[in-house]
């Protein structure tokens, strides 16, 4: 495990970076940090260089001053981070949920940097007006209510039907240590994110769409439709898992990625 600290325009980013050869970048979900990828990365870093940043305002990365961090801003951070890490080659980008929203923005703006894309337990649709309003309200109240109330509200929807209690407790701990200001800014950014569904048909790179069988937030049927919009895509269901499929089933998740990489690089 190798943790680096990278500076971008005076802001510090913390980033897991290990392995060799082709580059795989993991983007975490909300309100989490790069450590959710530790188990998955351990199955992959013998054959890939695995990079997993803490996004702006999460983990050990600097907290934004801005009230809103857009998905576009996060995507730009990823591009600059690659530059600072000396990655000039095309990458495979894998985003979980909020990480998927960011990955789609990255694909829109910097498609020339992508060898492939993995969209995991995410959505291409924007929030409905009600959902966006609820998010903004949640973000505005976060400094009063604290991360405990957010974790209590989110956790019941994140795991499959028979969750591993240790993993639930680990995810809760990860949530509780996230900075309120960073979490609120990302929540407002998600409320403002555009609908990306029309973009999917323009993807020229191979894409793997992965979904936990019991994902309540981005259910398999919704994710199957994402895959159907993309010309060169495959769709994988992770049996038994919920929304946090790489956390619940890291080995199966890593196998799906390995198969995707084999098709991508060894054809």
**Distance separating alpha carbons of residues 252 and 172, to the nearest angstrom:** 23
Closer to ligand MLT by Cβ: residue 85 or 249: 249
In the DSSP assignment, the letter for residue 62 is P
Closer to ligand MLT by Cβ: residue 104 or 190: 190
Q: Which two three-digit tokens encode residue 14? A: 């913390």
Closer to ligand MLT by Cβ: residue 22 or 243: 243
**Smallest separation, CB 29 to ligand MLT (Å):** 3
**Smallest separation, CB 188 to ligand MLT (Å):** 12
Q: Pick from 8, 80, 132, 217: which binds ligand MLT (CB under 6 A)?
A: 217
Euclidean distance between the first and final Cα of the chain, in Å? 30
Other beta carbons less than 10 A from residue 146's beta carbon: 12
In the DSSP assignment, the letter for residue 37 is G
Give the CB-side neighbour count of residue 106, counting CA atoms within 13 A. 32
Task: Scan residues 93-132 and list those touching ligand MLT (CB under 6 A).
Answer: 97-98
- How many of the chain's residues bind ligand MLT (CB under 6 A)? 7
Give which of 145, 169, 144 is closest to 158, Cα–Cα: 169
Which pairing describes strands 23-27 and 49-53: parallel, antiparallel, or unpaired? parallel
Closer to ligand MLT by Cβ: residue 92 or 98: 98
Closer to ligand MLT by Cβ: residue 30 or 235: 30
**Distance separating alpha carbons of residues 49 and 51, to the nearest angstrom:** 6
Distance set, CA 172 to CA 121, 150, 164, 167 (Å) = 19, 10, 13, 8
Task: Scan residues 8-67 and list those touching ligand MLT (CB under 6 A).
Answer: 29-30
Give which of 215, 211, 238 is closest to 224, Cα–Cα: 211
Closer to ligand MLT by Cβ: residue 190 or 238: 190
**Smallest separation, CB 174 to ligand MLT (Å):** 12
**Smallest separation, CB 245 to ligand MLT (Å):** 11
Task: Scan residues 129-188 and list those touching ligand MLT (CB under 6 A).
Answer: none
Q: Pick from 23, 78, 180, 190: which binds ligand MLT (CB under 6 A)?
A: 190
**Smallest separation, CB 243 to ligand MLT (Å):** 6
Closer to ligand MLT by Cβ: residue 55 or 237: 55
207 binds ligand MLT (CB under 6 A): no
Contact 101, 191 (CB under 8 A): no
Close Cβ partners of 166 (under 8 Å, ≥ 6 residues apart): none
Given the rule CB under 6 A, which residues bind ligand MLT? Answer: 29-30, 97-98, 190, 217, 243
């Amino acid at each position: 495990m190798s943790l680096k600290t990278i500076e971008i325009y005076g802001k510090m980013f913390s980033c897991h970076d290990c392995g060799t050869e082709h580059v795989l970048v993991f983007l975490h979900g909300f309100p989490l940090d790069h450590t959710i990828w530790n188990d998955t990365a351990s199955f992959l870093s013998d054959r890939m260089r695995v990079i997993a940043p803490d996004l702006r305002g999460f983990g050990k990365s600097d907290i934004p001053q801005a009230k809103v961090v857009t998905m576009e801003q996060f995507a730009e951070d990823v591009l600059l981070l690659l530059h600072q890490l000396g990655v000039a080659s095309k990458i495979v980008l894998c985003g979980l949920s909020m990480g998927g929203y960011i990955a789609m923005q990255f694909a829109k703006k910097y498609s020339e940097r992508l060898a492939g894309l993995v969209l995991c337990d995410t959505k291409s649709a924007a929030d409905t007006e009600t959902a966006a309003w609820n998010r903004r309200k949640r973000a505005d109240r976060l400094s009063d209510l604290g991360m405990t109330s957010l974790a209590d509200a989110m956790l019941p929807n994140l795991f499959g039907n028979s969750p591993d209690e240790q993993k639930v407790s680990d995810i809760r701990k990860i949530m509780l240590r996230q900075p309120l200001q960073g979490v609120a800014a990302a929540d407002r950014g998600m409320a403002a994110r555009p609908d990306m569904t029309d973009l999917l048909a323009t993807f020229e790179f191979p894409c793997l769409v992965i979904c936990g069988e019991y994902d309540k937030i981005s259910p398999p049927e919704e994710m199957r439709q994402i895959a159907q919009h993309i010309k060169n895509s495959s769709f994988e269901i992770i049996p038994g898992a919920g929304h946090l499929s790489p956390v619940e089933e890291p080995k199966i998740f890593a196998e799906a990625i390995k198969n995707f990489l084999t098709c991508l690089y060894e054809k």
